[in-house]
Amino acid sequence: MNFSDVSAEQLDEIDPLRQLRQEFYLRDSIIYLDGNSLGVASKAAEKALLSCFEDWKHYGIDGWTQGERPWFFAAETIGKMLAPIVGAKPEEVIATGSISVNIHQGLASFFRPEAKRNKILADSLNFPTDIYAIKSQLKLHGLDEEHHLVQVASSDGYTLNEQDIIAAMDDDIAVMLLPSVLYCSGQLLDIECLTSEAHKRGIIVGWDLAHSVGSVPHKLHDWNVDFAVWCNYKYLNGGPGAVGGMFIHERHFGREPGLAGWFSSEKTKQFDMEHHLTAANNAGAYQIGTSNMFSLAPLYGALSLYEKTSMAAIRTKSSKQTDFLIYCIEKDLCQFGFKIVTPRELEKRGGHISIYHPEAARITKAMKTAGVIPDYRHPGIIRLAPIAFYTSYRDIENAVQRIQCIMKNRSFEKYQNARDIVA
């Protein structure tokens, strides 16, 4: 689309999702572009959380089986709501744990090293927790990380070449774990192609969907992904520390989970209190213990908003908004030394755009003072995420204008060029 003949106001007027913004709590004059780290609160999430608390007040212990949303089935019910968002069958998804815990669960279940196949394939740009979890799983098997963790290198420090990943799929790799969208640069990998290439070589495939879920459509079932994990607090707006999500392809149903607990049980057997586990014959087997209801309940509301639209419509808007953001950055910011590190091709990027600047840490602080909320990732990266649910084209244009102002006035020089404790 050629943005030079159309205004941000016009783009907002023809935006089919513009009404959804009213469902969210947005602060006046603050432009929130950090929904890829923590999505904003919605009225629906608030209502669902308060209703769970009311059930506790009213039902006490019986809240597990009574009330509008009995807690005993919450992880499965939310799993069903997540299924269309990730392209899975309802019984293939469970709401449980967190990304870090679910990676441990995925590897404990699927990494079964043998004499000739005993390595894990990952990349060199992934989020630290994914790598820490892989290393501790290797240690638990008595394998050293130096020989058994293979990390595909990046030539530019921001992106991966898919051919390099395929070339690393040797016959000693047992499991591959990759991020769908790289958290730093926003590069989107071809999940379907990489999964199929790995399967041809007998490798089990796990994906971390942290930065694609709720922003990019997935077809986890049709793509034959073995397992996937994600968090529900980024694009899915489930609230800080919301319970995470896990996908297990149905062809793996009936296996023992690597990390079992009483919530792994088939539901009708759970209270038989037997010491022999009869694991659920679906993704529910991958839960461990009692559901964290107050971190799960907001999802009833937050995910109901996805029922008002579709992943295709969200991706269409998100793509147009990131195109518009790139257009604004090139027009107004590149002359101040910003460099876009996100791939330009639409099919190679997720929902956020990352820009590099050597002074990025303090530019981020000046942006927050100016009412633009991005996030900063060390070293030198500012991530900007327009969210289809609640970001307008005017927000994008205003945010870029405010950043331009900061660069012109050099107001960022008031701050130290160092990251904060949470950045």
Ligand X SMILES: *Cc1c(COP(=O)(O)O)cnc(C)c1O
Residue ranges of E strands in 75-168: 93-95, 119-123, 149-152
List 104, 119, 211, 383, residue binding ligand X (CB under 6 A): 211
Considering only residues 61-100, where is the footprint of ligand X by CB under 6 A? 98-100
* Residue 234 designated active-site: yes
* Residue 233 designated active-site: yes
Distance in Å, CB of 398 to ligand X, minimum: 27
**Cis preceding-peptide flag for 70 (omega within 30 of 0):** no
Helical packing angle, 293-304 and 74-86, nearest 10°: 40
List 130, 226, 359, 375, residue binding ligand X (CB under 6 A): 130
Which one is catalytic: 24, 183, 227, 233?
Answer: 233
- Answer yes or no whether residue 179 interacts with ligand X by CB under 6 A: yes
Considering only residues 374-413, where is the footprint of ligand X by CB under 6 A? none
Distance in Å, CB of 212 to ligand X, minimum: 10
Stretch that binds ligand X, among 54-62, 204-212, 245-253, 390-398 (CB under 6 A): 204-212
List 198, 231, 243, 355, residue binding ligand X (CB under 6 A): 231
Distance in Å, CB of 39 to ligand X, minimum: 12
- Answer yes or no whether residue 340 interacts with ligand X by CB under 6 A: no
User: In 3-state terms, what secondary structure has residue 381?
Assistant: strand
Which one is catalytic: 3, 73, 127, 336?
Answer: 127
- 105 vs 392, which CB is nearer to ligand X? 105
Residues 6+ apart with CB under 8 A from 340: 326, 329, 330, 334, 353, 354, 355, 356
The DSSP annotation for 168-229 comes to T--TTEEEEEEESB-TTT-BBP-HHHHHHHHHHTT-EEEEE-TTTTTTS---TTTTT-SEEE
* Residue 183 designated active-site: no
Contact 240, 233 (CB under 8 A): yes
CA angle 330, 333, 335 (to 5 degrees): 90
Distance in Å, CB of 210 to ligand X, minimum: 3
Q: How far apart are CA 213 and CA 218, in angstroms?
A: 8
Considering only residues 238-267, where is the footprint of ligand X by CB under 6 A? 244
Which one is catalytic: 69, 80, 119, 234?
Answer: 234
- 118 vs 126, which CB is nearer to ligand X? 126
User: Rg of the Cα trace of the chain?
Assistant: 22
- 77 vs 98, which CB is nearer to ligand X? 98
- 152 vs 333, which CB is nearer to ligand X? 152
- Answer yes or no whether residue 127 interacts with ligand X by CB under 6 A: yes
* Residue 208 designated active-site: yes
Query: DSSP secondary-structure letter at 417?
Result: S
AA identity, residue 279: A
Q: Which of 396, 371, 401 is nearest to 385 (CA)?
A: 396
AA identity, residue 342: T
DSSP run (H or E) holding 246: strand 245-248
Distance in Å, CB of 261 to ligand X, minimum: 18
Distances (CA, A) of 281 to 180, 252, 349: 27, 9, 36
Distance in Å, CB of 103 to ligand X, minimum: 8
* Residue 338 designated active-site: no
- 125 vs 400, which CB is nearer to ligand X? 125
Number of chain residues interacting with ligand X (CB under 6 A): 13
Active-site residue list: 127, 208, 233-234, 383
Residues that bind ligand X (CB under 6 A): 98-100, 127, 129-130, 179, 183, 208, 210-211, 231, 244
